[in-house]
Homo-oligomer: A and B are copies of this chain.
């Protein structure tokens, strides 16, 4: 054991060294995972697993070790006493202390057992999904829910376990709050979807025109530039499922998947992931290598990706700049398409079975199906064996569709097999935050439509950077929303936005 940090300067330097080492380990884990998703061969998985397990154990030991505990205690005391007055450092200590407390709550043997269970569940789920075989995966759901309830109780024995998990993904979020959110959104969306179902859909054969991989690749870079990524601090890679990751100050990357007969899948994946990456790129550089680097929550992260993908990316105003990019790369397909035709085509609202392919309007209904089932699993009202029936009922009820098989039903998402329960709500919150940002932007003098129409999104980025991006993990979601919008989350904005946009699109 090293000597306790004797002066505030020494303490500051010791804390920063601890943060830097944690950061380095996490950077290496992310690089190794990215390598696994983008280029590593199949048979390299065992070695990667070994290395990731090694780093995860080192990271947990470092974060929760005696030395780190002592440093956090000394740091908190120094802030309390007024020996540390630097606001950033105080934030670092607060966030480090919370990370440490939560990591410490789970005993190492539980952590190892959980990691093993998730690994196993994930492997079984992959096969089960391919074979649409619910039964083989079913036992894992009950085991996972039990394990996660135990984790939640270890983190906070005084609260409802599902609330504890929601709070892990979106600080401050409770089931009561999300219930109210769902009630309000459902009340708007379900009748809207029904009304639209009676209207004709636009013709848009160009959506499935063949656009070669090479063309889609170079087009993707133009979209990253349009979002405003610093291209010297970003990269594009190709994966089974698109994702993005912030690795470091100066390194946030986007991945996409190209289907030659579905250009828009690539277009909106890239814009979405670029929205995540630009958030990571614009965290205050002073936070580099500290606990404050990176995005603050899943919901806030999703609000950034969806703002670029939907709120701007699927707005009427943006069709001009978007069409210019499409025409530059695929003139034979987009030369004759008008802005209006493009706008209608990228906003076709129609119930469908797969969440990741759902349109902006029906998307929240997919979240509600999952959320309701998770709640029932956690309350004990339902068990894994009830899921297929509940999934079918809720899909019929909300989307008016029959579930033809489990692959397009309860096996479609990777979240549960990955041990993530309480995660889905953050997707719906992202869009709701966006709808609330719009009047705030307007009030602050930012003309979003003018920026979208010009293709120069700098004014929007400046506002997002000031209100959201630069704060990194120093502020939690509720605080950011309150400061940006002057009010807490209010689903009314989201409902109004959907009613206005889709009402106009379908002439309701």
- Using a CB–CB distance below 8 Å, which chain A residues touch chain B? 20-21, 24, 27-28, 31-32, 34-35, 38-48, 50-51, 54-55, 213-214, 230-235, 237, 247-251, 253, 289
Contacts and interface: CB of A to CB of B under 8 A. Distances in A.
A40 to B, nearest CB: 6
Given A24-B54, A54-B24, A55-B28, A47 B251 contact: yes
A331 to B, nearest CB: 19
B253 A21 contact: no
A62 to B, nearest CB: 12
Given A44-B248, A44-B250, A248-B44, A51 B24 contact: yes
A116 to B, nearest CB: 18
Given A24-B54, A27-B47, A41 B213 contact: no
B41 A250 contact: yes
Chain A interface, >50% SS class: helix
Contacts of A231: 41
Nearest to A281: B43
A232 B34 contact: no
A24 B28 CA distance: 12
A289 B51 CA distance: 11
A422 B344 CA distance: 66
Contacts of A48: 248
Contact of A40 (B41, B47, B235): B235
Contact of A41 (B31, B50, B235): B235
Nearest to A39: B235
Given A44-B250, A250-B43, A250-B46, A51 B28 contact: yes
A482 to B, nearest CB: 33
Given A28-B55, A32-B28, A253 B47 contact: no
Contact of A232 (B42, B233, B253): B42
Contact of A237 (B39, B46, B230, B251): B39
A251 B24 contact: no
B31 A232 contact: no
Nearest to A236: B39
Contact of A31 (B31, B230, B253): B31
10 contacts: A24-B51, A27-B47, A34-B35, A40-B251, A41-B250, A41-B253, A44-B247, A46-B248, A46-B250, A47-B248
Contacts of A214: 213-214
Contacts of A234: 41
A235 B44 CA distance: 10
A27 to B, nearest CB: 5
A289 B289 CA distance: 30
B39 A38 contact: yes
**Residue in A27, A41, A42, A54 whose Cβ sees the most chain B Cβ within 10 Å:** A41
A99 to B, nearest CB: 20
A39 B289 CA distance: 21
A234 B42 CA distance: 8
Contacts of A47: 27, 247-251
Given A21-B54, A41-B250, A47-B247, 17 more contacts: A20-B50, A24-B51, A24-B54, A31-B35, A34-B35, A39-B235, A39-B237, A39-B253, A40-B251, A42-B233, A43-B230, A44-B251, A46-B248, A46-B249, A47-B248, A47-B250, A47-B251
